[in-house]
Amino acid sequence: MKKKLTTVVFNGTKEQELKLLKVIEKYKDIKGSTMPILQEAQEIYGYLPIEVQRIVSDETGIPLEEIYGIVSFYSQFSLNPKGKYAISVCLGTACYVKGSGEILNKISEILGIPQGGSSADGKYSIEATRCIGACGLAPVLTVNDDVYGRLTKDDVAGILSKYTI
Amino acid sequence: MIRSHILICGGTGCTSSGSLAIKDALALELKAKGLEDEIKIVMTGCFGLCALGPIIIVYPDGTFYSRVTVSDLSEIVEEHLLKGRIVKRLVYNDTVEEVDDGTHVSLNDTVFYKKQKRVALRNCGYINPESIEEYIGMDGYMALGKVLTEMSPAQVIQVMKDSGLRGRGGGGFPTGMKWDFAVKSVSDKKYVVCNADEGDPGAFMDRSILEGDPHAVIEAMAIAGYAIGADEGYIYVRAEYPIAIKRLTIAIAQAREMGLLGEDIFSSGFNFDIQLRFGAGAFVCGEETALLTSIEGNRGEPRPRPPFPAVKGLFGQPTIINNVETYANIPQIILKGASWFASMGTEKSKGTKVFALGGKITHTGLVEIPMGTTLREIVEEIGGGVPNGKKFKAAQTGGPSGGCIPASNIDTPIDYDNLLAIGSMMGSGGLIVLDEDNCMVDIAKFFLEFTVDESCGKCTPCRIGTRRMLEILEKITNGNGTLEDLDKLEELAHHIRATSLCGLGQTSPNPILSTLRYFRDEYIAHVVEKRCPAGVCKNLVSYEVVPENCKGCTACKRACPVNAISGEVKQVHIIDKVKCIKCGVCVTKCKFNAIIRK
């Protein structure tokens, strides 16, 4: 998965930082806790900009480049903020052979943003995901926590129209 | 008094099609009718027939309702639960006997289930996975009790060896042998790891087991811990599986509370506890050494083997690592004996295997069958065949590391060795059915795109080699390929297979090699005739009007989104190939078969 550094200005709050410090404290004596810390940090901030990585690095003593190496390695970690409506289209094999590639293109076309990108107003982001395990419903897409299955590309506009506010 | 149980599937497939809303609405409906003390709702794991979700089963009679919606519930409650009349229109039609209208056969007698033999999935869809009592009611933790009170570690290993159980995650390494290596590695600290990083796209058996029967995995890990002398276990589970994570968390807490995890289990002096670690979306972490590196908190890059994890694994200590389905078999093997397990399957592949049926098949879902069942039985009988009257072309097994089984090999009995011999592999058990509309070159390209994306970058053959192979495939699907490219592909594939560091790199050429082996004619059609026989590769497709068939009805002209079709009423129409975007709408609109795709 390609990573881009975000252009969105970081606006983390003091409250979020305190939460993060507590998380790091919790894992202080646990072996191999870098991943859990980063996962919880992403839950707090929604993504992992360099500012957050720096806090983790300062507190744990792990060099920043090592933290960045981990963040950029795993596709679950995001360097960019996700849209208010995060749209994910499953490109697992079962979905792909049933046409999820076309669905992804259709969404890109309607919203005018490329795969992996987000709209300028921060409302939508699109990504292709690996198998989410709902192969029985293929092809599948999710918008935040809502799952839509057994789709054709003609269903796309109807689904998107539910997420306009 | 409870007179009836209603089982609702709470697996990912059915919750995605709305089973949680059904549970809530049903609870309200039962309350409104004053039935809440007579009828109990149980949220279970996956029943296997995901294509028909949301599914509910009413016991004791075992009526199987499929594709239930909230608006159907009042009818089910009113008719079935109050008056005892089955709501026929909602019953899954394979369970209705046609001759004697109204009677229904048990789900276990339907084609989908009859040929199955459920060992790893035995509790999935039967018990509430969030209740340790229900697991114990199904003989849960009896195997652990037996091992701790009656058997020596050496005896446990012997049973595992005798059973012939092989790793269900891909490689098929004998589990007993793996454990024995860990026993022979002397150290005062050892680990037991469960690989629940099910990354093979199209496979979801491990997820279903964790969602439907999490205690079976926990129990088996404790047994493994006793056998090799480990007191700590890790389950590395994909973060993309929230329901599995939730149920594992609950199960571990329940087991601790009952003293089935923790110190001095069954007063035997044996200690064992389990921690969860979440993957973060890296396919390579399903490779065992990469998974261990990831648990240690680093980039999940594989390490050279040897040393094998059984000698030097997690945090440098002897470690055994097995996948979810492998563990799910183990309590049964201990309770019923090695010879029971070894009586199922083929000579070198014992027991059963779970397959995730997906793609162009009627019954998508999970099936568990004895090893040695033929692909034909799986696809045509259990899976209900290819829908829409299309022709079976191939089955893809083993995901990005596997290959395609063509129709000519459909009678091959499926086991580890037979699949390897025909150029595919078992992998974790994803089985994707392809029909005549799927282009094999496109499928190979799809898997290569996946591998290129997921290559960790540590070794050159995989990082650069797979990219070169993908470029060649793109060249071919764009219509610029040459016959030399096919030779180049094969040569590259053999080098990558021989020189990559880990299993993922070594197996990454398989999708290309197996499609080249069985569908070379399709590659040649792309290269020589610049034609995609299945009509998938857009750059090679063109649409033409057959003048004899065209009536000049203008239906295609009106439907074309880019005005690429011209022609007067009752005159033969013409498609402008430059303007045409190859969307295919015209074909679907033409009633006279006057437009063909070339």
pLDDT at A1: 41
Q: Are the CB atoms for B27 and B73 separated by under 8 Å?
A: no
* pLDDT of B351 above 50: yes
Amino acid at B161: K
Q: Is the peptide bond before B129 cis (omega within 30 degrees of 0)?
A: no
**B149 exposed, middle or buried (CB, 10 Å; 0-12, 13-18, 19+)?**
exposed
pLDDT digits (tens, 9 = 90+) for B188-243: 999 999 999 988 888 889 999 999 999 999 999 999 999 999 999 999 999 888 89
pLDDT at A2: 44
pLDDT digits (tens, 9 = 90+) for B515-565: 999 999 999 999 999 999 998 898 898 888 999 999 999 999 998 888 999
A-contacting residues of B 244-283, CB under 8 Å?
A: 277-283
Q: Is A94 in Cβ contact with B358 (below 8 Å)?
A: yes
pLDDT at A158: 93
- Banded pLDDT at A8 (limits 50, 70, 90): low
> Among all chains, which residue has been given the structure tokens 């980039």?
B299
- Banded pLDDT at A92 (limits 50, 70, 90): confident
Question: Between vectors from CA B26 to CA B25 and to CA B31, what angle results, nearest 5°?
Answer: 100
Contact status of A1 with chain B (Cβ, < 8 Å):
yes
pLDDT digits (tens, 9 = 90+) for A15-65: 999 999 999 999 988 888 999 999 999 999 989 999 999 999 999 999 999
What CA–CA distance (Å, rounded) separates B23 from B565?
A: 52
Total-model pTM: 0.91
What CA–CA distance (Å, rounded) separates B252 from B248?
A: 6
Q: Going by C-beta distance under 8 Å and a sequence separation of 6 or more, which residues neighbour residue B133?
A: none
Q: Are the CB atoms for B533 and B426 separated by under 8 Å?
A: no
Q: B4-112 architecture in CATH?
A: 3-Layer(aba) Sandwich (3.40)
CA dihedral sign, ordered A87, A92, A98, A104: positive
Q: Which of A1, A31, A135 sits opposite B364 (nearest CB)?
A: A135
What CA–CA distance (Å, rounded) separates B378 from B112?
A: 9
The overall average pLDDT reported for chain B is 92
CATH 3.10.20.600 fits B352-435, yes or no: yes
Per cent of chain B over pLDDT 70 is: 98
Q: Are the CB atoms for B552 and B569 separated by under 8 Å?
A: yes
Provide the token pair at A48: 């992992």
Contact status of B443 with chain A (Cβ, < 8 Å):
yes
Q: Are the CB atoms for B531 and B479 separated by under 8 Å?
A: no
Proportion of chain A in helix, strand, coil states, percent, rounded to 5: 45, 10, 45
Q: B542-597 architecture in CATH?
A: 2-Layer Sandwich (3.30)
Q: Which of B50, B198, B297 sits opposite A34 (nearest CB)?
A: B297
Mean pLDDT of A66-94: 90
pLDDT digits (tens, 9 = 90+) for B72-89: 999 999 999 999 888 888
Q: Is A97 in Cβ contact with B438 (below 8 Å)?
A: yes
The full set of domain ranges for chain B reads 4-112, 132-342, 352-435, 440-527, 542-597
Q: Which of B202, B300, B438 sits opposite A92 (nearest CB)?
A: B202
Mean pLDDT of B346-374: 94
* pLDDT of B391 above 90: yes
Per cent of chain B over pLDDT 90 is: 77
Q: Which residues of B touch A1 (CB under 8 A)?
A: 281, 453
- Banded pLDDT at B596 (limits 50, 70, 90): confident
**B246 exposed, middle or buried (CB, 10 Å; 0-12, 13-18, 19+)?**
middle
pLDDT digits (tens, 9 = 90+) for B8-61: 999 888 888 889 999 999 999 999 999 999 999 999 998 888 888 898 999 888
Sheet holding B56-59, edge to edge: B39-44, B4-9, B56-59, B63-65
Q: Which of A35, A137, A147 sits opposite B294 (nearest CB)?
A: A35
| Alpha-carbon gap: B35 to the closest alpha carbon of chain A (Å) | 31
What CA–CA distance (Å, rounded) separates B509 from B489?
A: 9
Provide the token pair at B480: 């610029």
Q: Is B297 in Cβ contact with A32 (below 8 Å)?
A: yes
| Alpha-carbon gap: A143 to the closest alpha carbon of chain B (Å) | 12
* pLDDT of B597 above 90: no
Strand residues in B253-378 grouped as ranges (E): 262-265, 270-278, 319-323, 352-359, 365-370
For residue B269, count other CB atoms closer than 10 A to its CB. Answer: 9
The overall average pLDDT reported for chain A is 88
- The more confident residue out of B583 and B358 is B358
Cα–Cα distances (Å) from A123 to A130, A142, B220, in that order, read 23, 15, 46
> Among all chains, which residue has been given the structure tokens 């639960």?
B81
Cα–Cα distances (Å) from A92 to A161, B235, B354, in that order, read 25, 23, 19
What CA–CA distance (Å, rounded) separates B300 from B282?
A: 8
Q: Is A92 in Cβ contact with B298 (below 8 Å)?
A: no
- Tell me chain B's radius of gyration from C-alpha atoms: 27
pLDDT at A34: 93
For A71-100, the DSSP string reads HHHSTTS-SSPPPSEEEEEE-SHHHHTTTH
Q: Which residues of A touch B396 (CB under 8 A)?
A: 93
Helices B142-150/B214-228 angle, 10° precision: 10
Q: B132-342 architecture in CATH?
A: 3-Layer(aba) Sandwich (3.40)
Structure ipTM? 0.86
Helices (H), B138-213: 142-150, 153-163, 175-184, 205-212
How far does chain A reach from its first CA to its final CA, in angstroms? 29
pLDDT at B542: 85
CATH 1.20.1440.230 fits B440-527, yes or no: yes
B-contacting residues of A 101-160, CB under 8 Å?
A: 129-138, 140, 147, 149
> Among all chains, which residue has been given the structure tokens 């908190």?
B297
Contact status of B201 with chain A (Cβ, < 8 Å):
yes
Provide the token pair at A46: 């929604």
> Among all chains, which residue has been given the structure tokens 């030399």?
B484
Q: Is B360 in Cβ contact with A137 (below 8 Å)?
A: no
pLDDT digits (tens, 9 = 90+) for B276-333: 999 988 999 999 999 999 999 999 999 999 999 999 999 999 999 999 999 999 999 9
- Banded pLDDT at A5 (limits 50, 70, 90): low
Proportion of chain B in helix, strand, coil states, percent, rounded to 5: 45, 15, 40
The DSSP bridge partners found for residue B44 are B9
What CA–CA distance (Å, rounded) separates B438 from B429?
A: 21
